[in-house]
Chains A and B, each alone.
Chain A
């Protein structure tokens, strides 16, 4: 999977300033990476920029948002935002988030809690109920659960969730990526079927080719 936007949290090792950009060498414990922040020109932000710059010194922790670049095998980050880390719990949080995103990428998105609860609910009804009403009651149970959990467990909501989370500006997300993220929850056929419906209803549309879509 190609990585575009990244976020890292690390200590500033060194800073190099030029008239057009500032280059930070940042160490997050896994290694070092160069982070370039281009100077933004506007009418009245001279003072603001110097205030922000003053806080970003060697030895402090920063959180970097930017695009990952790969030039002749050397990775760097083109930053669009740098935040001074004032609370050390942000480091804990960031590393846990990195693990979470890694697991989600490797194993697919977690089935929502409501889906699991529904299963428990149905199981309970099956176990507790005897006699000919069993099937009717189970059917009622499922219908009831789905209605009370609107917006949390159905395929449309999960597709929307994945699209919001992984879409890239202009391009959107590829259908195969959506299937990948939801592979533990729905089959590709189910997802493509639902995407066709959502497209007919005008909720999503194709972008660069017929494998890439975005939310309307």
Chain B
């Protein structure tokens, strides 16, 4: 199964599908509701299931299913630490769209 890399703008094209999205944690509540700033700067609501929450400003990659309201039900997450070149990542995501044979 493939899990396309998306940002907040692309997420609407993948309703009902499992995607991976990279972003910075803006807030994370105890009930698992987490707001990510996606690589394109837009905000995405994530409902965590594998963990209770994340520290603020942490970069994470979430794999999860896109709901009809464009939020994500998380199934697993990798923590990327507090520094990454998020603009280059976003450009890579956009460039990947032009190569459906590869990604």
Contacts and interface: CB of A to CB of B under 8 A. Distances in A.
Contacts of A89: 84-85, 88-89
Contacts of B32: none
A102 B81 CA distance: 30
Interface of A: 11, 27, 29-32, 59-61, 87-89, 91-92, 95-96, 98-99, 102
Give the interface size bracket for B toward A. Answer: 20 to 34
A29 B20 contact: yes
A87 B78 CA distance: 12
B89 A29 contact: no
10 contacts: A31-B1, A61-B78, A88-B59, A89-B88, A92-B89, A92-B92, A95-B96, A98-B102, A102-B99, A102-B101
Interface string B35-73: 000000000000000000000000101000000000000
Contacts of B88: 89, 92
Given A88-B89, A92-B89, A98-B102, A30 B2 contact: yes
Given A11-B78, A88-B59, A89-B84, A32 B95 contact: no
Interface of A is mostly: mixed
A59 B50 CA distance: 11
Nearest to B85: A89
Contacts of B96: 95, 99
B103 A29 contact: yes
A88 B102 contact: no
A27 B5 CA distance: 12
Contacts of A11: 78
A30 B20 contact: no
Contact of A30 (B78, B85, B95, B102): B102
A59 B77 CA distance: 8
A11 B102 CA distance: 17
Given A31-B2, A92-B92, A96-B92, 4 more contacts: A29-B5, A29-B103, A60-B78, A88-B84
